[in-house]
Structure 1
């Protein structure tokens, strides 16, 4: 049964998207949990994907100077071999190469992503399991290589890790940043490249999901066009603020803070599911 989303729900879920998208705690998991626990239904994968356009716009604006420099260097390098040793040229290629795996898997598994993967048992379990992965990455990562030392191998590994984010509860930034730490990158380098890496995949996902979001089919909460627009704007504003906060935070603090948070939230959801307070689907 399709249920129309209220303005309060749209505003709350847009805020949740903006606040959680860039933190290694899984925005898709939080949208699913909040919509189910507080509103009694699922806002849907399409709502998640479309509001992510707001947070990705925040990335584009926040990193506009870096992105412009990388794009310019990439095009120069295509025609001038002497420019191909440039870091920005290489990062451009790393982002392109690392986006291919999630693009292919996202297309092939789109039906499973919108259905079975959104089960709250799966989400709560992944919040806890991947919290442990992040903890291990923080513990064993040497953190000796700055972004200037980024390699094609780093891009491939982080690109493969990004595919795990197709499962709600994993976290795109958590997966890619952890992979970077395992590869020996500094925390700041791993998080910064994680932001750049998310841009093409999340933007493509949001645009691809636009038709489903505006013409929904199936069950769950459905937002109107104006509600989607407002929720996306809210996600943009709060997302921009969260980028600035996270970059400052990881410069002086470990990811263990997020590990503890993920475990607490995952455990709480498992308790709610086990006692029948909320439904898994």
Structure 2
């Protein structure tokens, strides 16, 4: 990859990971529009790890609360509220992990890197996001998370393994249907992503050790650039959702999906 492609890939990931418009779909589309080779799963994971580090930095207080909750689970310290939330995040992660292993074992992941599939999912899940944001109540905050809510949003997160769905988009959709405020739906979504993205990063370590060389350097550079792009995007989104609805993202998704179906 050239530095320009790494920079563009990082910006695309850093922006689209947190806006509900599908980062995986845009990562598939990026080399198509650049006329370059697909960057491959290693770069995809590297940019997701960059996004993960940005989440931990931006939501450091919440992330540290989950760490305290994990320690409380094994009898170190007393943080009952954080312990409860820690377990809801863990339980909410299980569907995505199980679905991911199933797709990987059956060899479906590579077949999902399809422009047509991205286009259809952009439209379908974009419309669902619009319905949830229009009719969902604005009552709950992250601390109100229950076991039922964790399972529902966790099941929604599993769908995001299919490109074009958008992990942040589909989890925010589920959270809005459950009555969470827009900002809290985003907060819930980002914190729920921590275990899933961290797990993907750990799983790719053996592959990184095997390939070595230029590809690892490219992954490190792209991941670092993604970190900074992701921080800026989260700051924008959290401020934006305090004042506006998600309709602009719905319109963008539907229009992009239509354009892709027309072009390809």
| 2: CA distance, partners of 1:118 / 1:206 | 20
1:243 corresponds in structure 2 to 234
Gaps of 5+ in 2: none
Which stretch of structure 1 is more off in the superposition, 109-118 or 61-70? 109-118
Query: Is residue 65 of structure 1 aligned with residue 61 of structure 2?
Result: yes
2:127 corresponds in structure 1 to 132
2:84 corresponds in structure 1 to 90
Residue 262 of structure 1, aligned match among 233, 246, 253:
253
Deviation at 1:254, TM superposition (A): 0.8
Deviation at 1:104, TM superposition (A): 1.3
Deviation at 1:39, TM superposition (A): 2.2
TM-score for both structures, normalised by structure 2: 0.92
Deviation at 1:10, TM superposition (A): 1.7
For 1:252, what is the secondary structure of its paired residue? Answer: coil
Change in Cα spacing, 1:215 to 1:80, as seen in structure 2 (3 Å) is closer
Per-residue CA deviations over 1:44-98 (Å, capped at 9, x if unaligned) read 23321221100101111111222112321442355399853x2x22211111111
Count of residue pairs the alignment pairs up: 262
| 2: CA distance, partners of 1:226 / 1:79 | 41
Per-residue CA deviations over 1:9-45 (Å, capped at 9, x if unaligned) read 1221122111211110011111111111222432223
Query: Is residue 25 of structure 1 aligned with residue 25 of structure 2?
Result: no
Change in Cα spacing, 1:128 to 1:64, as seen in structure 2 (3 Å) is same
Q: Is the 8 A contact 2:138 2:179 kept in 1?
A: yes
TM-score for both structures, normalised by structure 1: 0.86
Per-residue CA deviations over 1:187-209 (Å, capped at 9, x if unaligned) read 12111011100011012113323
Change in Cα spacing, 1:50 to 1:63, as seen in structure 2 (3 Å) is same
Q: Is the 8 A contact 1:47 1:223 kept in 2?
A: no
Residue 231 of structure 1, aligned match among 217, 222, 226:
222
Q: Is the 8 A contact 1:10 1:227 kept in 2?
A: yes
| 1: CA distance, partners of 2:107 / 2:180 | 33
Deviation at 1:147, TM superposition (A): 2.3
Per-residue CA deviations over 1:187-234 (Å, capped at 9, x if unaligned) read 121110111000110121133234446757xxxxx9722111111111
Which stretch of structure 1 is more off in the superposition, 50-59 or 223-232? 223-232
